[in-house]
Structure 1
């Protein structure tokens, strides 16, 4: 046990001789941001699992857990009304979930959005087919950004259309 005490004394003497006597507080901010993001990912994953369970989704190959860290996930009902938006949407376009719930994803579009691309997405949705398109969307502050959207129809156990799910990231 005496060797540990000698080690502790040596470390204490070393630190007493340093000119810096405090820990840098700014490094704690990184840890806090990480913890908040981790917490939000778990909350989002639990919400998505709840929606899937409640509506008896048949699609298990969406890999929601890993996608939550890299992409924004938006879920609409069959009528294209937003029922879920992941927390990381705030970083991409400045909106929080409460601001978009009940609205159409068209709320992100504007004059710079290509009408042909919008029509192709609409056609895929009407045909209940997956799609992948890059769209010019608008942030909450009005800035334009290119958004890569991978959209998928989600069916329930009866084979009926339940929801649409979109995985989005800035292109």
Structure 2
């Protein structure tokens, strides 16, 4: 049974097509006005807006940590300049304090599982020794850096991860924040 809301969904779908595709499909569709019922509600799910909201909430969470620990870093500038899917916040000993939902989506590991672990639990046999050395060396230097590394998901699938690490400090380095993106 066709109803008006199904027809409206079809109209929205047709509008998203290029002209040739739309003409091809429109020829196959015969409009029917039998059994049309009035539209009672309208809802459009905007998944992009949802993702933006999640990122905004992640940034607000980091800003709350910044306030709590009195970081002198320009957190807003970091997030304006750098794209991310996952955020990993560690203490100065590199134990994970907090991860965002993007981390769980990327790795398959829950926030609860990751908390209090060292991020090295994501590494495996294809993670090169050079990558591990470079990571440790840059962390010891206490400066921001970017590194591509092979990590492993919960299901043991390897993935390429671009990691941007920022030391966070008040009078000294108190935490590290990693912004991560899975790369092809």
Give yes or no for TM over 0.5: yes
Contact 2:84 2:179 in 1 (8 A): no
Q: CA deviation at 1:71?
A: 2.6
Q: Partners of 2:36 and 2:162 in 1: how far apart?
A: 49
**TM-score, normalised on structure 1?**
0.74
Contact 1:45 1:64 in 2 (8 A): no
Pick from 95, 111, 116: which aligns with 1:81? 95
Aligned residue for 1:151, secondary structure, equals: strand
1:18 aligns with 2:33: yes
1:49 aligns with 2:49: no
Q: Partners of 2:79 and 2:71 in 1: how far apart?
A: 16
Provide the residue aligned with 2:19 in structure 1.
none
Pick from 122, 125, 140: which aligns with 1:126? 140
Contact 1:133 1:148 in 2 (8 A): yes
Contact 1:68 1:86 in 2 (8 A): no
Q: Specify every segment of 5 or more residues in structure 1 that has no aligned partner in the other structure, as ranges.
A: 1-16
Aligned length, in residue pairs: 150
Provide the residue aligned with 2:4 in structure 1.
none
Q: CA deviation at 1:164?
A: 0.7
**TM-score, normalised on structure 2?**
0.69
Contact 2:149 2:162 in 1 (8 A): yes
Question: What RMSD in Å do the two structures reach over aligned CA positions?
Answer: 2.9
Q: Partners of 2:82 and 2:56 in 1: how far apart?
A: 9
Q: CA deviation at 1:98?
A: 1.9
Provide the residue aligned with 1:91 in structure 2.
105
Aligned residue for 1:31, secondary structure, equals: coil
Q: Structure 1 117/65 Cα, relative in aligned 2: closer, same or farther at 3 Å? A: closer
Q: Deviations over 1:20-58 (max 9, x none)?
A: 8479xxx96x71745653553343223211111011111
Contact 1:75 1:166 in 2 (8 A): yes
Q: CA deviation at 1:137?
A: 0.3
Provide the residue aligned with 2:155 in structure 1.
141
Q: Deviations over 1:75-128 (max 9, x none)?
A: 111000111211112221212322211111101101110111111110111121
1:164 aligns with 2:179: no
